[in-house]
Structure formats: structure tokens, C-alpha cells
Structure 1
Amino acid sequence: MAAENSTTAPAREFQQHRDVLLAVAYRMLGRVADAEDVVQEAWLRWSAADTTAVRDARGYLVRTTTRLAIDRLRQVQARKETYVGPWLPEPFPTDLAAAPVPDGADRVVLAESVSLALLVVLESLSPLERAVFVLREAFGYPYTEIAAVLERAEPAVRQLAGRARRHVAERRPRFEVDPAQQRDLTERFLAAATAGDLEGLLAVLAPDARLVGDAGGKAKAPRRVIESARKVARFLAAIGPNEIPDVRWTFLELNGAPAVLVTSGGRPHTVMSVDVADGRIRTLYLMANPDKVAHLAP
């Protein structure tokens, strides 16, 4: 029995913190598969360690996961240099109303930190800046703990945090959005898009609306950002749903916001998500890379 307890106790403790570790890794990497790989590696290291000597299990695991994520981020950044077309984060299913909130974290801030708009901006940070921003802004870690995680002096960590915050503030649009309004706009957009209704699309799109498509060269999607409401509407009205066999549309919550999952023959085909400002759709994200939507299978 003692041998069983010594084996199961570390696994049980790791499982208690797994959601937080996955949340940190996903915000660092923007891809579910990479985040899960990092968490799995963290488990392997935890299971091989002398856990009886660890006083703060969550701190140890977050530190391990963050360092592994930094290493993985440096690897995937090289892959993105040869990526075909725009790159978007992999959509992540969320139920933020029911999700546990880690100690020191604010639910609203936590929700914002997983939004597609913010994750796109975080792609332009260095791995260290991104780690500091995620741990500080999303999870409320004090600078002293972040310094220990990164093995950097606290003044250096504060400088990284300042640079990251300024960079994000300059590039990230911030709008107060009513979730009910966002859902309503998403539904109206979907109705107009499926009907090929050009005027209906123009009614929900902001004049400077943008469409960002991510197919990675593996599916049909624009390889450049489409800008202006009329160009976006014309593109959407032209493609319509007729090109997709056995098409189905499902609403779900992705990255803390309403989104539409398009399936073909029961398999994920495309994900559409929107950013809303002043009662109109400002940005439409269209994710069609099969590698990035396969995990959303109904």
C-alpha cells in the first residue's frame, strides 16, 4: 500500500494543477498540441523528480512548464517563418464562466488573455517577454516569483514586463464588448454569409473591417489579409456554403468568445470568430488549416 501511495500521490498532485499548466502553456504557444506536449513533458519531469522535497508543487510545475514553453516557442517561431499565409493561434475551447480561477488571477483578465486578438499580438513578443506578460498580466504572479521562474534578476524582469505591456498596448485594440451583442452579431453575420447576402454582411461589418484567413497552404483561404467592409463582404458572399459538402454550422465558445464551427461530413472544416467594436464586426478570423481545427471534432 505504501508503494502504491508513493506512486499515485505525485500523479494526483500533478492532476490538481494540470488545468493551470495547460492554460500557461497555451497562452505562451498559441497552439493546443504544443501546449499539451509541454504539459506532458512537465509531467515526465515531475514523475522523475523527488517530489517529497518540493514544498510548493504548483510553483515548481509552473516554473517547469514555463521554461519548457519558452524552449518550444523558440522552435516553433522558426517554423512560422516558412508558414504559408497569415498565422493565427489554434482555437481553444473555453467555458470561462465555469473555469477555475488560479490564485491571484482575475476572471475578466484571464478571459481577455486567451482572446485571439491578444494572442496574435503576443506573437510579436520575444519568448521571455511573452513569458513575463503571461505570468504577470494573466495569472497575477509577483515579480519575485517570475524572476525565480526565468532565473533572472527582478529588475530585469520588470524591464521585460514594461516593454511587453507597452508593445501590447500599442498594437492591441481594446473595446468593451457585451457577450450577448457579440453573439447576436455573430448570428447575423452567419445568416448573411450563408445566404450570400452582400447588404446583410455590410450591415454588420465595420467600414474598416478585416478578414484574416489561416489555411497554412492546406485549404482554401485568402493568403493575404482582406481589408475594408466591401471587399470582405464580396469575398464571403462569393464563396458561400455551397462549396462545402454536407455542411453544418455549430455555435460554441472559443477563446472566450462566441464562434462558429463549420463541419463537412461531420468533420471540422473551418472556424470563424469575430472581434467586435462599436456594434460592428471589426475583424473576422477564418481558420481553415485542418491541423488547427481537427481537435474540435463534435
Structure 2
Amino acid sequence: MEDFERLRGRLFGIAYRMTGTATDAEEILQDAWLRWQDADRATVRNPDAYLAKVVTNLSIKQLTSARARRELYVGEWLPEPVLTGRSEFDALEPLEVVAQRDSVSFALLLLLEALTPAERAAYVLHEAFGYSHREVAELIGTTDANARQLLSRARKRVTTDSPRRQPVDRAGWREFVGRFLAAAQSGEIEQLERLLAEDVVSTADGGGKVIAARNPVVGRTLVARYLIGTLQKFGVGFVLRFAEANGEPVLVAESPDGLMAVCFVEAGPQGVSALRFVMNPEKLAFAAAQVSQIGRLSDLSW
């Protein structure tokens, strides 16, 4: 019990980065706990390595089956957000180094979806948690040479597909997003367009559970019209707050019934380049549970 609780944060971090869903990560930890209870402790020389291996392999198995289910998913699939920013409520602790927080960014989780389960495991274990090539090989049950190849392929794919990310100026982000929201709520399309990058993409994950665009909306004019139309149609009955999820600033929509959406806003020199709305209630369940833990979402605002 003591060893498992000591490692719970790290084990959750591995499972969440592997699957992209907090609910799956929790189920994996429950399964790992049962296996730990049944294990012959006298033969376990290193509980840390034993439990990391169990969680890694359960995550690989879960991710493999999840890929098949996602082929039938209604609309766009996005990872589940996890609220962060207050260490006492941060499910992704322990975050021993800054790289660990970077490794759970929403954009990176999306890039990791393009990797095979084995490549993803090698990348997560080495890049996020600092396991050596030999340790990665042992955890996923392969050779040292193959572990290096898996990591090399994963790094190449992630580096090729991901532009270099600059640290977010949170004060600047909040000021810019405030202007962006004001323009969207005013209904001034031209004013909103000036704040959007020409090739901006808006993606919504409703999972068929709520009304949401099933395909990405691309381009400055279309995204502006889409946002204004959505706010005019559904903009009554909820409030928007600034919060933090996955180590980055986000907008959260909250109604009297609870969380409605978590929106990740990527902004650069050319304006807003990407909007990602997580709206599927099942995808918001973990974050909603975090909010209920602390009483009110405003305690997570910044």
C-alpha cells in the first residue's frame, strides 16, 4: 500500500500520457493496484520498476484497443483535459522537472496519437520521466537496441510535426484572449478576423453527446462566423473563466450544472492559430471531479 501510494502520481502520469484520457488512466491504476495486491512481494526487488512496468503494459494494451474504438467515434477526438496549476489538486504531480509539465501539453498529446503504442511508451518513459534506454527496454519488454529505435522514430515524428513551442506569456495571453472574447461576443466579424491567423483551425470534440462541429473549421472568415454564430446561439447560461489545464492557460465554460467546455487557445504573432474545444461530458468528468474537490472553479482561476 505504502509503495503504491508513494508512486501514484508518477503512475497516473505515465498512464495519462500514454492514453490521453484521465478516465483510462484511473482504470489502469485500479487494475495495477489489484495486481500489486496479488503480487508475491518477496520476489519484487524494485517496487518502482515493477509498478511502472505493470502500468506501462496495461497502457499499451488499453491504447491498442482504444485505437479501434476511436474509428467509430463521432466527430473529432481530443484528449481529456486535466486541471493543473495548484499543486495540491494537481493529478499530474509529481512534476519533478519542467519537461514533465511540457510533456503533457495538449498539443503534444495530440501529436503522440500518431505514434504506435510502443513508440509512445518509449517516448513518454524516456522524455517525460527520464528512464534510460536500458530501463525503457525492460519496462516495455524489448531489447535495448529496439528501445533506442522506438525512441528515435518517435522523436523524429514529434519533432517534424511540432513547431518549436515558446513559453507562454500568461499575462499577454490573457490580455489577448480577453480582446478575442470581446470581439466574438460583440458579433463584429471584421474585428474578430483581425485577431485570427489566416489558417486558423477550430476543432470541437462533442463525441455525439452535445451539439458541436463534427469536422474542423478552417480559415479566418469561417472560424469567425462559426464562433460568433455559436455564441449567439448558445452563449446564454454560462460563464467563461481563465484557468489552467495540462500545464497551460485555458478558457473554461461553466454553467450552474457544471463544466460545459474546456478550450485550449493557441496564439502567436499572426493571431489565434488553433482553438480546441473539449465538450463531450464524458471527457470533462475527470476535470469536473477535480472542481468538486475544491468547491468552486474560481479557486483554479488565475
Q: TM-score, normalised by structure 2?
A: 0.88
Runs of at least 5 residues in structure 1 that lack an aligned partner in the other structure: 1-10
1:18 corresponding residue in structure 2: 8
Cα 1:82/1:188, change in 2 over 3 Å: same
1:281 corresponding residue in structure 2: 272
Superposed, 1:31-110 pairs within 5 Å as: 31-95=21-85, 99-102=93-96, 106-107=97-98, 109-110=99-100
Distance (whole Å) between structure 2 residues aligned to residue 50 and residue 179 of structure 1: 49
The number of residues matched between the two structures is 284
Amino acid in the other structure paired with 1:100 = P
Superposed, 1:124-163 pairs within 5 Å as: 124-163=114-153
Amino acid in the other structure paired with 1:221 = A
2:228 corresponding residue in structure 1: 237
Distance (whole Å) between structure 1 residues aligned to residue 258 and residue 67 of structure 2: 29
Q: Contact 1:110–1:138 (CA<8 Å) still a contact in 2?
A: yes
Matched, 1:186 2:180: no
The Cα shift of 1:66 comes to 0.4
Query: Is the partner of 1:148 in helix, strand or coil?
Result: helix
The Cα shift of 1:163 comes to 0.7
Cα 1:52/1:148, change in 2 over 3 Å: same
Among 199, 210, 215, the alignment partner of 1:219 is 210
Q: TM-score, normalised by structure 1?
A: 0.89
The Cα shift of 1:140 comes to 1.3
Q: Contact 1:198–1:233 (CA<8 Å) still a contact in 2?
A: yes
Distance (whole Å) between structure 1 residues aligned to residue 106 and residue 3 of structure 2: 31
The Cα shift of 1:203 comes to 3.2
Distance (whole Å) between structure 2 residues aligned to residue 293 and residue 222 of structure 1: 17
RMSD of aligned alpha carbons: 1.9
Bigger Cα displacement from structure 2, 92-101 vs 264-273: 92-101
Cα 1:291/1:28, change in 2 over 3 Å: same
2:245 corresponding residue in structure 1: 254
Bigger Cα displacement from structure 2, 160-169 vs 196-205: 196-205
Query: Is the partner of 1:262 in helix, strand or coil?
Result: strand
Runs of at least 5 residues in structure 2 that lack an aligned partner in the other structure: 292-302
Query: Is the partner of 2:204 in helix, strand or coil?
Result: strand
Q: Contact 2:199–2:219 (CA<8 Å) still a contact in 1?
A: yes
Q: Contact 1:250–1:261 (CA<8 Å) still a contact in 2?
A: yes
Query: Is the partner of 1:68 in helix, strand or coil?
Result: helix
Q: Contact 1:210–1:284 (CA<8 Å) still a contact in 2?
A: yes
The Cα shift of 1:81 comes to 0.5
Q: Contact 2:82–2:286 (CA<8 Å) still a contact in 1?
A: no
Among 87, 110, 134, the alignment partner of 1:120 is 110
Distance (whole Å) between structure 2 residues aligned to residue 291 and residue 244 of structure 1: 21
The Cα shift of 1:83 comes to 0.8
**% identical equivalent positions:** 39
Distance (whole Å) between structure 2 residues aligned to residue 178 and residue 82 of structure 1: 38
Q: Contact 2:197–2:272 (CA<8 Å) still a contact in 1?
A: yes
Distance (whole Å) between structure 1 residues aligned to residue 159 and residue 74 of structure 2: 28
Superposed CA offset, 1:177-219 (max 9, x none): 3233233333332333333342342233222111011111221
The Cα shift of 1:241 comes to 5.4
* Greater relative CO, 1 or 2 (CA 8 Å, sep 6+): 2
